[in-house]
């Protein structure tokens, strides 16, 4: 794997960042394959997701749970004399948990400087009143 060593050498010398997207774009005839199947777009998305270059504007995880309680009392009767026998109580609840722009279960200490800069840019962009603009 001589080319891997050369690539690592160029990465150190010139600051070249080698990722799957770059390798796909350097592959001969990749443009032709992308003409029919968007492999390059998929590789770009996957690379950005793995490298942490992606921020979610809104992300939630939802849980829906149903609890069924069954109560039996043989011989119990209603006012009109009909047999109750069994009572079934169904309780549904839903819970929605928001995520940070970079995923679930993260704190500020878990974020890289790059991710913190993205959050700062999002905050400035969302404020709507920066440098006198409305």
User: Residue 92: what pLDDT?
Assistant: 94
The pairs formed by 18-27 with CB atoms below 8 angstroms and a separation of 24 or more are 19/47, 19/51, 20/46, 20/47, 21/47
How many whole angstroms separate alpha carbon 117 and alpha carbon 32?
37
pTM equals: 0.35
Per-residue pLDDT of the chain (134 residues; tens, 9 = 90+): 566 677 777 777 777 777 788 888 888 888 888 888 888 888 888 877 776 666 666 778 888 999 999 988 777 777 887 777 787 899 999 998 887 666 677 777 877 788 788 878 877 666 555 454 44
Contact 126, 101 (CB under 8 A): no
How many whole angstroms separate alpha carbon 115 and alpha carbon 29?
34
How many whole angstroms separate alpha carbon 6 and alpha carbon 25?
18
User: Residue 53: what pLDDT?
Assistant: 63
User: Residue 85: what pLDDT?
Assistant: 77
């Amino acid at each position: 794997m001589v080319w891997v060593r050369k690539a690592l050498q160029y990465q150190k010398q010139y600051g070249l960042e080698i990722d799957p997207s770059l390798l796909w774009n350097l592959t001969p005839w990749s443009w032709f394959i992308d003409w029919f199947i968007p492999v390059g777009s998929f590789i770009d998305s996957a690379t950005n997701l793995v490298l942490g270059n992606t921020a979610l504007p809104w992300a939630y995880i939802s849980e829906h749970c149903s609890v069924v309680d069954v109560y039996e009392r043989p011989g119990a009767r209603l006012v009109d004399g009909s047999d109750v026998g069994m009572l079934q109580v169904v309780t549904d609840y839903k819970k929605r948990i928001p995520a940070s722009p970079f995923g679930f279960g993260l704190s500020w200490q878990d974020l890289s400087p790059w991710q913190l800069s993205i959050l700062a840019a999002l905050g400035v962009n969302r404020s709507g009143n920066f440098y006198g603009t409305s």
